[in-house]
Amino acid sequence: MEADVVVIGSGPAGLQAAIHAARKKVEVVLIGKLENSSTFGIPVENYFGTSGRQSGTDLLMNGVRQAVSFGCEVEDMNVISAERTGDRFRITSESGEVVDAKAVVLATGITRNHLGVSGEKEFGNGKGISYCAACDCNFYKDKVVAVVGGQSEAAISAELMTRYASKVYWIFPKFDADASLVEKALAAGAERITESVKQIKGEGKVNAVVLSDGREISLDGVFIELGGKSSADLAMEIGVMPEVDDTIKVDRNCATSVPGVFACGDITGRPWQIGKAVGEGVVAGSAAADYSKKVGQ
């Protein structure tokens, strides 16, 4: 598939970017799971034009309908890879569909999702817990590990770790990744367990997890992969180097250091508010559309 602009992330920033890019009469594809937005499932009460508490989910759904009404194609799935190919960008979704675009808007947020269970903070600083299998896989050669998460990045990480670890448990109550990614991980030897992790245990470093059914599994490491690939990871794949805090530096046009790559929303830094995200979405979407019209001329 070809597009002028690909927007990665379906939160307020990404949706507004898609709306404004589409209004400039260019081909726009938005890729991102709505449920991964920090606005999904929460009340909103400090955003312009809202009275009292409003549903964040409803706000997002209205944004999707607006984007579609202006001609944007919306794909409710995660992005698993991004690359530069000359003056174009190639974005691959978890379904395997590839979109070749002239400009990219990164709007997937910044926070790596945490489990919030006992032991996570204690062992999260190089003591057996990682949030990036691709980064830390070499540390777990011939070890026993668990990959925790049910979406695309967890599926990819589970398959990856089978090439390094002696045993891989893939743990989560619900598996939402594309069926092809699930099958690939299971075929590679990952053992799927449909339970929640309730506790991460250890003495100095991780040595076990406790599941919701009471079972305790001995292991050497836990990879927490909730949701899709982070904006920081995707940014590096297309040549943008994040700051030390994983934010991405942009100029007044929300342009990054790489021509054709724009960023908006939480990933550009504080304040992490819907108003800022929407405002930057306007700028990034418009700038990306204008840039795409110049490519190939």
pLDDT in tens, 225-234: 887 777 778 8
Q: Tokens 């991405």 label which residue?
A: 248
* Residue 112 banded pLDDT, cuts 50, 70, 90: low
CATH superfamily of domain region 129-224: FAD/NAD(P)-binding domain (3.50.50.60)
Section 51-66 average pLDDT: 93
For the record, the structure tokens of 215 come out as 């079972």
Helix (H) / strand (E) containing 14: helix 12-23
What stretch(es) of the chain map to CATH 3.50.50.60? 2-112+229-294, 129-224
State the Cα–Cα distance between residues 297 and 288, nearest whole angstrom: 15
Higher pLDDT, 124 or 99: 99
**Quick check: helix, strand or coil at residue 141?**
coil
* Residue 191 banded pLDDT, cuts 50, 70, 90: very high
The residue type found at 14 is: G
State the Cα–Cα distance between residues 289 and 201, nearest whole angstrom: 50
* Residue 183 banded pLDDT, cuts 50, 70, 90: very high
State the Cα–Cα distance between residues 7 and 222, nearest whole angstrom: 31
DSSP 250: -
Q: Tokens 């400009």 label which residue?
A: 103
Partners of 244 in the beta sheet? none
What CATH number labels 2-112+229-294?
A: 3.50.50.60
State the Cα–Cα distance between residues 158 and 163, nearest whole angstrom: 9
- pTM of the predicted structure, to 2 decimals: 0.77
pLDDT digits (tens, 9 = 90+) for 11-20: 999 999 999 9
Per-residue pLDDT, 227: 73
- Tell me how far the alpha carbon of residue 175 is from its chain's centroid: 16
Q: Indicate whether 168 pLDDT > 70.
A: yes
Other beta carbons less than 10 A from residue 65's beta carbon = 11
Q: Indicate whether 288 pLDDT > 70.
A: yes
State the Cα–Cα distance between residues 144 and 164, nearest whole angstrom: 10
State the Cα–Cα distance between residues 144 and 296, nearest whole angstrom: 50
Helix (H) / strand (E) containing 280: helix 274-294
